Structure 1
């Protein structure tokens, strides 16, 4: 969250306010889309100029999910545990 707080300062300087939760969600979706393109490039299905972006963007998307969970008063770890428990129950 220290990184996100630094970005909030930058947003205040640029726009006079921090991004909304919706804007954070859009930033996450943008990075998720970049993962899609980078994955296609990795699999030889789409050319890319940035061959090394995939690991960083995967990490960034996880980071965005943590940020979004916190901003919406959710515990990220509990969200993941809930999802895994639901899937395990479904697969029994």
Structure 2
């Protein structure tokens, strides 16, 4: 029973680190795919888009094909840009 409790606490601790805000202008593909509803292809599209022009707000993600209001709503607490990341 003690091992089970320790395992659960460990999972909670790891999950809390995994849910830290992700800066969409600096995150790696591996970090981006942790977001709800984002696969490798869309993560690569975000990376390509920010090379052309870094995102000024999370709403600008809607300029990336396949990303809309639902994605932003589902991830708004987990993503950030610029000063919002501090």
Higher RCO structure (Cα 8 Å, ≥6 apart): 2
Q: Which interval holds the TM-score relative to the shorter structure?
A: under 0.3
Could you say which structure has the higher helix fraction? 1
Q: Which has the larger radius of gyration?
A: 1
Could you tell me the TM-score, scaled by structure 1's length? 0.26
Could you tell me the TM-score, scaled by structure 2's length? 0.27
